[in-house]
Amino acid sequence: MVRREIEGDFIMGWPDRKRPELNEARDGQGRVIRAAAPVMELQGLITPTDLSFVTAQLDMPEPMHPDDWVLSIGGQVERPIKLTLEELQKFPGRTVRAVTECAGNDTDFFDYLRGDAPKPSRFLTPDREAMARLKDKAADGTLQDADLYIPSSMMGILSAGEFTGVPLAAVLEKAGIKPNAVSVRAEGFDTGTPDPMIQYRSAGTTNLDFVDPGVISYDKALPLEKALDPDTILAWAHNGEYLRHVHGAPVRLIVPGWSGNWWVRWLQTIEVMDHMPDLYHQTHYFIYGDSPDDPNLTMLTALGVKSIITDPRDEDSPLPRGSHAIRGLAWSGCGRIERVEISIDDGETWTDAHIEEPREKWLWARWSYLWEVDEPGQYSVKARATDQEGRTQPQTKWNFQRKHFDGIVPLDVTVV
Ligand SMILES: Nc1nc2c(c(=O)[nH]1)N[C@H]1C(S)=C(S)[C@@H](COP(=O)(O)O)O[C@H]1N2
Ligand SMILES: [Mo]
């Protein structure tokens, strides 16, 4: 229960609290290629840029000088155009505060809730060595499905930020969308060959038909309606400063409510299309269904509705009798959080928690509940959120790529 906080990190020369740290993996040149955000340790609504998560599907590209950057807008448009960053910044701007959640965040809780695996801790640091061993085993052909379960590598792949840019719709309007438009493909300037291990790990089995696309660029095709949503923006700024390279500089796409894979970084091409194209990261990966042969496979789009308990934590057990503030975060892929309920009796009865202002459409909300507990014992405390569309947690069923986890993970504590 002892949580030491004043440990004398030095900030600007002054002794300070122990500050949360990014859990990062670097390449041979010391460059961050992956990082988990310490979401459980943060306060407020905006994840500091230094603590925001990083992930990549392909190879990280070399940085591009903003003066050399040009965005091409073409395809099914009246007037194909090219825009420099300076030209993009002449459009009326827009700022959006939103949660970015990777489709695979918290995926291991699916196995736990099905009773297939022990409860993973939100405090485990990603086991990079175990991930490296997976690759070695895959290389020498000894990889077993049981090796794929590493209960620590899929936490903290979410952050919330403030993004500034211009609506994609404004740029498309300038180019003139033709009436036959169906989708808007956004492509980044990163390239690479998708690693089959990412799919194996996601599905928890190597027994999959991996469709090897060879070297590709990262791209996603937004259905026209989402592309034209005024909150879908081309952003050059993040949390009050120019976007950083790892997060997609000079310009990235912001697609509020939809999982991170839609938020195409390092944008270079926008193509209006008269159909939904077949793209690796849209029709082969980041798909939703019961199995690879499910006749109703669909692409992932909006996130479910989700709350997590950030305080106290399982690790704080045992708790003394008395009053405890239960606190947490709640967000949805379909707008504002309307309600958060707490159950102290493992889901038998529910009571409303207090939702802290502000509650913005795409941002998470903080919530709290004062728990008075006099009876010693073992408690399973649950939180469930409901959004402005009346959707209650959980929305997302187990699916074979185990994406968009929004299940209810109890806080398990003993009161003494
Ligand atoms: N060009 C490009 N954009 C991309 C990706 C990528 O690999 N390449 N990864 C996507 C995925 S899966 C996620 S979760 C987010 C991660 O964004 P971040 O690293 O800035 O947090 O970027 C998305 N945009
Ligand atoms: Mo992701």
The mean pLDDT value for 74-88 works out to: 98
- Which of 56, 22, 15 is closest to 36 using CA atoms? 22
Confidence label for 263 from pLDDT (cuts 50, 70 and 90): very high
CB within 8 Å of 142: residues ≥ 6 apart: none
Identify the residue with better confidence: 147 or 258: 258
Any ligand 1 atom below 6 A from CB of 267: no
Per-residue pLDDT tens digits for 282-339: 999 999 999 999 999 999 999 999 999 999 999 999 999 999 999 999 999 999 999 9
pLDDT tens-digit map of 82-124? 999 999 999 999 999 999 999 999 999 999 999 988 898 888 7
pLDDT tens digits, 135-185 = 888 888 898 888 888 776 688 999 999 999 999 999 999 999 999 999 999
How many whole angstroms from its chain centre is CA 316?
26
Using the mean position of ligand 1's atoms as its centre, give its distance from the Cα of residue 73 in Å: 21
Q: What is the pLDDT of residue 134?
A: 85
pLDDT above 80 for 60? yes
pLDDT at 408 (0 to 100): 98
Query: Candidates 265, 285, 300: which one to mutate for ligand 1, based on the most atoms within 8 Å of Cβ?
Result: 265
Q: What is the pLDDT of residue 3?
A: 59
Q: What is the mean pLDDT of the chain?
A: 94
Distance CA 68, CA 266 (A): 13
- Indicate whether 1 pLDDT > 50: no
Q: Can you give the length of the chain in residues?
A: 416
Domain boundaries, the chain: 7-301, 305-415
- Cα 213 to Cα 14: distance, rounded to the nearest angstrom: 52
Ligand 1 pocket, residue 338 CB under 6 Å: no
115 alpha carbon to ligand 1 midpoint, in Å? 31
Instruction: Provide the pLDDT for residue 217.
Output: 98
Architecture in CATH of 7-301: Alpha-Beta Complex (3.90)
The three state secondary structure string of 12-65 is CCEEECCCCCCEEEECCCCCEEEEECCHHHCCCCCCCHHHCCECCCCCCCCCCC
Q: Which atom of ligand 1 is nearest to the CA of 58?
A: 7
- Low-confidence winner among 10-14, 30-34, 66-70, 212-216 (lowest mean pLDDT): 10-14
Q: How far apart are CA 170 and CA 71, in angstroms?
A: 14
Could you say which of 3.40.50.10420, 2.60.40.650, 1.10.3720.10, 1.10.287.110 is the CATH number of the domain covering 305-415?
Answer: 2.60.40.650
CB-based burial label for 201 (10 Å; 0-12, 13-18, 19+) = buried
Task: Quote the pTM value.
Answer: 0.96
pLDDT of residue 131: 81
Q: Which of 398, 204, 225 is nearest to 304 (CA)?
A: 398
- b/e for 292-330, b at 16 or more Cβ within 10 A? beeeebebbbbbbbbbbbbebbbeebebeeeebebbbbb
247 lines ligand 1 (CB under 6 A): yes
